[in-house]
């Protein structure tokens, strides 16, 4: 029992999140029964998670270094637009079938890397707050997409590519597996590699990081490039799911990614949080949103519930943080007192 307790206290935010998710899953089971947990509905939820999931992971990374990347949605859409132009033959340079898809993915990767580099350089070189810098690049990247398309949607893409968004492997969508794999790899990178450890340190205290001999500018550029690649993948998934790309698709995701990160235990001030937490939060969010559809809730009610959730999680985390601080203080006082005796 003590072991369990000490484990729960070790990562209290995650424990709360897991408890909450378990509670929501159970409540959903009792209220909706088979309509929530039919193979069909689980599959449908798994189809919806990846495009939002990748954006949330991107937001998570930028949060972990104490920043924020507002340009993720614009980035995803513009990458999708570039890719769509390759896939519908406009910029295909004579490639066909598989070669064209490969070229498209390459273009997507390069585009997102360029956008990420832009973000990273602005933030690193000018020391501008990422909020301001990415607000600017968001508008800029959106403008690029707008200028190319004139605001209309780009469609008519290679069917080989769109079949990817519909494909199913072992009962779950391929895009969902992709999301799980990327999340796992990202989690491993953050917890096991030197880069990951540096990232946490840099995020938690950039000044200390600088004095420890970290190359802060390089870190910031790398993080924002990684963020951009993740949003680029989101763009590819959007494209394969909706068969077309357009400026402004999924604008409403921006706020939701921030909510998911906070619920998932990411500290917006940086240096704290785990990929696992965010993945659980994404699943929690999807289950709740499907439940809302089954109940045909009005948007006001939905917002009310999201708000309550957010405050509940934050409030609990805060109270527990204070409690644990108090108890450590007491312990050390006791230790002091006994030492004095």
Partner 1 sequence: MKKKFLSVVLSVAMAATLLVGCGSTSDNSSSDTQTPAAEESTDAAADSTDAAADNKGADPADYKVVMVVKQSDSWFDDMATGIEQLKKDTGLNVSVQVPETGDAASQISIMEDLIAQDVDAICVVPNDPNALVPTIEKAREAGIVVVTHEAPGIADSVDLDVEAFVNETFGELFAEKLATAMGGKGKYAGFVGGLTMETHMAWYDAAVSYLKANYPDMENVAEEPYEDGNSVEGAHDKALEVLKAYPDIAGFFDCSAQGGGICEALQENDLGGTVKVVSLALPSMSATYLKDGSMANGLCWRPADAGYAACYAAYLIASGQGVSDGTDLKATGYESISLDGNVGYGNAPLEFTADNIDDYNF
Nearer to partner 1 by Cβ, of 23 and 208: the residue is: 23
Least gap, CB of 1 to partner 1 (angstroms): 12
Nearer to partner 1 by Cβ, of 209 and 238: the residue is: 238
Nearer to partner 1 by Cβ, of 30 and 211: the residue is: 30
In 3D space, the residue among 182, 155, 169 whose CA is nearest the CA of residue 241 turns out to be 155
Nearer to partner 1 by Cβ, of 198 and 246: the residue is: 246
CA distances from 99 to 89, 95, 299 (A): 12, 6, 44
Q: How is residue 166 written in tokens?
A: 């519909």
Check residue 332 for interaction with partner 1 (CB under 8 A).
no
Least gap, CB of 37 to partner 1 (angstroms): 4
Return the residue of 153, 189, 201, 305 that touches partner 1, per CB under 8 A: 153
Check residue 2 for interaction with partner 1 (CB under 8 A).
no
Long-range contact list for 137-143, CB < 8 A, 24+ apart? Answer: 137/71, 137/74, 138/70, 138/71, 138/73, 138/74, 139/74, 141/71, 141/74, 141/75, 141/78, 141/115, 142/74, 142/77, 142/78, 142/247, 142/248
Check residue 170 for interaction with partner 1 (CB under 8 A).
no
Least gap, CB of 252 to partner 1 (angstroms): 4
Provide the b/e sequence for 231-268 (b: ≥16 CB within 10 Å).
Answer: bbbbbbbbbbbbbbbbbebbeebbebbbbbbbbbbbbe
Check residue 159 for interaction with partner 1 (CB under 8 A).
no
Q: What string marks each residue from 11 to 50 as x (binds partner 1 by CB under 8 A) or -?
A: x--x---xx-xx--xx-xxx--xxxxxxxxx-xxx-xx--
In DSSP terms, 172 is beta-bridged to 169
Strands, E assignment, 130-277: 168-169, 172-173
Three-state DSSP state, 173? strand
Three-state DSSP state, 154? strand
Check residue 191 for interaction with partner 1 (CB under 8 A).
no
In DSSP terms, 168 is beta-bridged to 173
Nearer to partner 1 by Cβ, of 21 and 134: the residue is: 21
Check residue 1 for interaction with partner 1 (CB under 8 A).
no
Residues within the interface to partner 1 (CB under 8 A): 3-4, 7, 10-11, 14, 18-19, 21-22, 25-26, 28-30, 33-41, 43-45, 47-48, 51, 150-153, 155, 162, 165-166, 238, 241-244, 246, 248-253, 276, 289-290, 293-294, 296, 298-300, 302-303
């Amino acid at each position: 029992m003590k072991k369990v307790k000490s484990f729960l206290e070790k990562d209290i935010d995650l424990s709360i999140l897991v408890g909450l998710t378990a509670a929501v899953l159970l409540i959903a089971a009792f209220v909706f029964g088979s309509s929530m947990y039919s193979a069909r509905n689980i599959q449908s939820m798994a189809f919806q998670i990846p495009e939002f999931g990748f954006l949330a992971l991107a937001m998570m990374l930028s949060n972990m270094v104490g920043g924020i990347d507002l340009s993720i949605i614009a980035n995803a859409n513009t990458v999708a637009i570039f890719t769509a132009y390759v896939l519908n033959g406009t910029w295909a340079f004579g490639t066909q079938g598989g070669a064209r898809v490969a070229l498209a993915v390459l273009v997507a990767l390069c585009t997102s890397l360029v956008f990420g580099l832009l973000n990273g350089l602005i933030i690193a070189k000018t020391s501008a707050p990422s909020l301001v810098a990415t607000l600017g690049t968001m508008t800029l990247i959106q403008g690029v997409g707008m200028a190319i398309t004139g605001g209309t949607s780009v469609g008519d893409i290679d069917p080989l590519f769109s079949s990817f968004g519909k494909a199913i492997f072992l009962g779950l969508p391929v895009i969902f597996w992709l999301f799980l794999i990327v999340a796992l790899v990202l989690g491993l990178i953050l917890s096991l590699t030197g880069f990951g450890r540096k990232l946490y340190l840099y995020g938690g205290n950039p000044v200390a990081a600088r004095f420890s001999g970290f190359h802060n500018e390089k870190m910031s550029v790398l993080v924002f490039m990684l963020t951009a690649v993740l949003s680029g993948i989101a763009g590819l998934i959007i494209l394969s799911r909706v068969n077309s790309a357009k400026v402004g698709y999924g604008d409403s995701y921006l706020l939701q990614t921030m909510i998911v990160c906070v619920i998932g235990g990411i500290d917006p001030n940086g240096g704290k949080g785990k990929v696992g937490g965010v993945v659980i939060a994404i699943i929690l969010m999807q289950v709740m949103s499907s439940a809302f559809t089954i109940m045909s809730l009005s948007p006001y009610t939905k917002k009310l519930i999201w708000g309550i959730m957010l405050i509940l999680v934050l409030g609990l985390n805060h109270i527990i943080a204070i409690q644990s601080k108090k108890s450590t203080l007491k312990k050390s006082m006791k230790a002091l007192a006994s030492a004095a005796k």
